[in-house]
Amino acid sequence: MLVSDLSKRFGSGPTEVTAVRGVSMDIDPGEVVLIMGPSGSGKTTLLMMLGALLKPTEGTIRLNGQVISELSEGKLPMVRLHQFGFIFQDFNLLSALTALENVALVASLSGRKNGEASRKAQELLSQLGLQERLHFLPEKLSGGEKQRVAIARALVNDPAILFADEPTANLDSKIGHEIMRLLRSIAKEQGRSVVIVSHDQRIKDIADRVLWLEDGQFKDMIRLATDPVCGMSVEQDEAAHRLDYRGERYYFCARGCLEEFAATPERFTAGNERIGLTRSLPDL
Partner 1 sequence: MIRLAIRNLFQNRTRLIISVGGVALALMLILSLDGIVRWIQTRVAAYIDASEADIWVAQAGVRNMHMASSSLSSERALEVGRVEGVDSVTPILYLTNVVVAGEERTISYIIGLPEEAQAGRPWIVSAGRGDPRPGGAVIDQGIAEASGIGLGDRVELLGADFEVVGLSGGTTSLTNSIAFISSEDFARLRASPDTVSFLLVRVEASAPPDKIARLIEDQVEGVTAQTREQFSAQERKVVRDMSTDLVTIMNSVGFLIGLAVMGLTVYTATLSRRAEYGVLKALGARNRDLYLSVGVQALASVVLGLAAGLAFTLLLAGIVPRIVSNLGLEVSLESLGKVATASLIFASTAALLPIRQIRGLDPAVVFRGK
Q: Does 117 help bind partner 1 (rule: CB under 8 A)?
A: no
CA distance 190 to 211: 23
Cβ neighbors of 238 (< 8 A, separation 6 or more) are none
- Identify which range of 44-52, 214-222, 247-255, 266-274 contacts partner 1 by CB under 8 A: 44-52
Q: Which of 112, 146, 148, 153 binds partner 1 (CB under 8 A)?
A: 153
Site for partner 1 in 57-116 (CB under 8 A): 77-82, 84, 86, 88, 92, 94-97, 101, 105-106, 108-110
Give the C-alpha distances (Å, rounded to integers) separating 261 from 19, 224, 245.
33, 19, 10
Residue choice 48, 61, 213, 234 for contact with partner 1 (CB under 8 A)? 48
Least gap, CB of 40 to partner 1 (angstroms): 10
Minimum distance, C-beta of residue 7 to partner 1, in the bound complex (Å): 17
- Minimum gap (Å) between residue 86 Cβ and partner 1: 6
Which residue, 106 or 225, is less far from partner 1 as judged by CB?
106
Distance CA 162, CA 183 (A): 9
Task: Choose between 48 and 253: whose C-beta lies nearer to partner 1.
Answer: 48
Beta carbon of residue 203, minimum distance to partner 1 (angstroms, whole number): 18
Whether the Cβ atoms of residue 261 and residue 250 lie closer than 8 Å to each other: yes
Residues facing 126 on adjacent strands: none
Smallest separation, CB 114 to partner 1 (Å): 8
User: Coil, strand, or helix at residue 72?
Assistant: coil
- Classify 134 as helix, strand or coil: coil
- Any bridge partners for residue 132, and if so which? none
Q: Are 198 and 211 in contact (CB under 8 A)?
A: no
CB 226 within 8 A of CB 275: yes
Compute the least distance from the CB of residue 270 to partner 1, in Å. 35
The whole-angstrom separation of Cα 184 and Cα 205 is 10
Exactly one of 2, 53, 160, 243 binds partner 1 (CB under 8 A); that residue is 53
**In the complex, what is the shortest distance from the CB of residue 179 to partner 1, in angstroms, rounded to a whole number?**
19
Query: Which stretch, 22-30, 45-53, 125-133, 218-226, contacts partner 1 (CB under 8 A)?
Result: 45-53
d(CA 272, CA 274): 7
Half-sphere exposure of 30 (CA within 13 A, CB side): 4
| Residues near partner 1 (CB under 8 A) | 44, 48, 51, 53-54, 77-82, 84, 86, 88, 92, 94-97, 101, 105-106, 108-110, 153, 157, 165
